[in-house]
Amino acid sequence: MAGGIASNLAIPPTHLSFHLKASTQAGLFGESHQGRVQRDRVNLAPIRDRIGDLTQARCAGHPEQCVGLRERSQGSNAVALAA
């Protein structure tokens, strides 16, 4: 997984591996196995929860500052995971 993502981002895989490991331990990424093939997947629920928490903290008491934040955060993914 790190190799494909790092290639897309033009950064060394070793730099990315550290952050992916921490993200996996935090439950943001997971793995599934199909025979001998390992598939990496993104667990969107905790990511969306965290974005909601950050948005609430940022916008609390000032809803005018948050107009359009939800729509912008639901755009397309910038990086696709490599198989």
What Rg value do the Cα atoms of the chain yield, rounded? 16
pTM of the model: 0.50
In single-letter form, the type of residue at position 39 comes to R
- Which pLDDT score is estimated for 80? 41
Instruction: pLDDT band for 75, please (50, 70, 90 cuts).
Output: low
Per residue in 20-53, pLDDT (tens digit) is 888 888 888 877 778 888 777 888 888 888 888 8
Q: Which amino acid is at 26?
A: A
Mean pLDDT on 5-12: 84
The end-to-end CA distance of the chain, in Å, is 7
**Contact predicate 66/54, CB 8 Å:** no
pLDDT at position 76 is 45
